[in-house]
Structure 1
Amino acid sequence: MSKKVTEIVAELAQPIVDELNLELVDIEYVKEGKDWFLRVFIDSEDGIDIEDCGNVSEKLSELLDEQDPIDNLYFLDVSSPGAERPLKKEKDFQKAIGKQVAIKTYEPINGEKMFEGQLLNFDGAEVTLLQTIKTRKKEIVIPYEKVASARLAVTF
């Protein structure tokens, strides 16, 4: 079975971000209209700037040109995941403990599929959120395997 484009790009990008002391957050390969976009999201403890994005883009672009793993013409976009950073890996959930998150589940839990609240705990099997509904606070436990997507949530 051949590897997906995102897996190949991850293998090429990981040593580059490691060398620059950055973190590879996510990779998307998507078609929008008639154009394909390869989006590489990077971050670091101190945040990233345009120079970091440029360095990764330049080095990754050279490797992609050499190895040519993608059949289609595409646009390479290297950027920060932004304030509403996706939580993809277990370590992302660990780092988000205490922060506001939004979670979508594959199937309803107590009749709901969308949850937002403070991430209280993540033990690898379950995600515990503290939801505030009007003036009531309620803890909800979501099985990790039922999480379809999760991201940091910006609250005002």
Structure 2
Amino acid sequence: MSKVTDIVSELATPIVDELGLELVEIEYKKEGSNWFLRVFIDNETGNIDIDDCALVSEKLSQILDEVDPIPTAYFLEVSSPGAERPLRKDKDFEKAVGRHVHITTKEPIEGASLFEGELISFEDGKLTVKEPKKTYVIPQEQIDTARMAIVF
């Protein structure tokens, strides 16, 4: 269903740009008998509120009705990516420096494939993650999943 997400991304990007927001991710998936189109937005401060979501939802819904790129019925949800937002783009990693992250890799690095700690730096496609007992350098191309992590 990546074609749907690509089309929605093209339609949503000008809307979020105009509002000074960031398009973080678009998800289109079936859950039970229903289809969901989820659009995740953020801003520089990370403080997305219900008004931001409602405004993007209203504007995006209008253009989706006009263009009609999705042949089946679906539910549109616009929300913040949350405290454990995914990290995918270079700018996501740059903004996460100094914060706690959770990373899994495609192949083990120094015997480990799960890393959780402070992202010390992101330079030249390499992440430096400091865990309590060790610091790892993880090539970006080896990352399977990466997200912010909450420390309790």
Normalising to structure 2: TM-score of the pair? 0.95
Q: Which runs of 5+ in 1 are unaligned?
A: none
Alpha-carbon distance, 1:88 to partner: 1.3
> Is 1:22 the counterpart of 2:18 in the alignment?
no
Cα distance in 2 for partners of 1:52, 1:27 equals: 16
3-state SS of 1:58 partner: helix
Alpha-carbon distance, 1:3 to partner: 6.6
> Is 1:140 the counterpart of 2:136 in the alignment?
yes
> Amino acid of the residue matched to residue 19 of structure 1?
E
Counterpart for residue 86 of structure 1: 86
Which of 131, 142, 148 matches 1:152? 148
Fraction of identical pairs, as percent = 61
> Amino acid of the residue matched to residue 22 of structure 1?
L
3-state SS of 1:21 partner: coil
Counterpart for residue 122 of structure 1: 122
Alpha-carbon distance, 1:108 to partner: 1.8
Q: Which runs of 5+ in 2 are unaligned?
A: none
Cα distance in 1 for partners of 2:69, 2:26 equals: 15
Alpha-carbon distance, 1:14 to partner: 0.6
Counterpart for residue 39 of structure 1: 38
Cα distance in 2 for partners of 1:35, 1:111 equals: 41
Cα distance in 2 for partners of 1:114, 1:140 equals: 11
Cα distance in 1 for partners of 2:103, 2:94 equals: 15
1:86-108 Cα offsets, whole Å, 9 max, x none, are 11100000000000000111122
Q: RMSD in angstroms over aligned alpha carbons?
A: 1.4
Normalising to structure 1: TM-score of the pair? 0.92
Instruction: Tell whether the 8 Å contact from 1:6 to 1:27 is kept in structure 2 after alignment.
Output: yes
Cα distance in 1 for partners of 2:2, 2:148 equals: 29
1:51-103 Cα offsets, whole Å, 9 max, x none, are 11000001000111111111221110000011001111000000000000001
Instruction: Tell whether the 8 Å contact from 1:56 to 1:78 is kept in structure 2 after alignment.
Output: yes
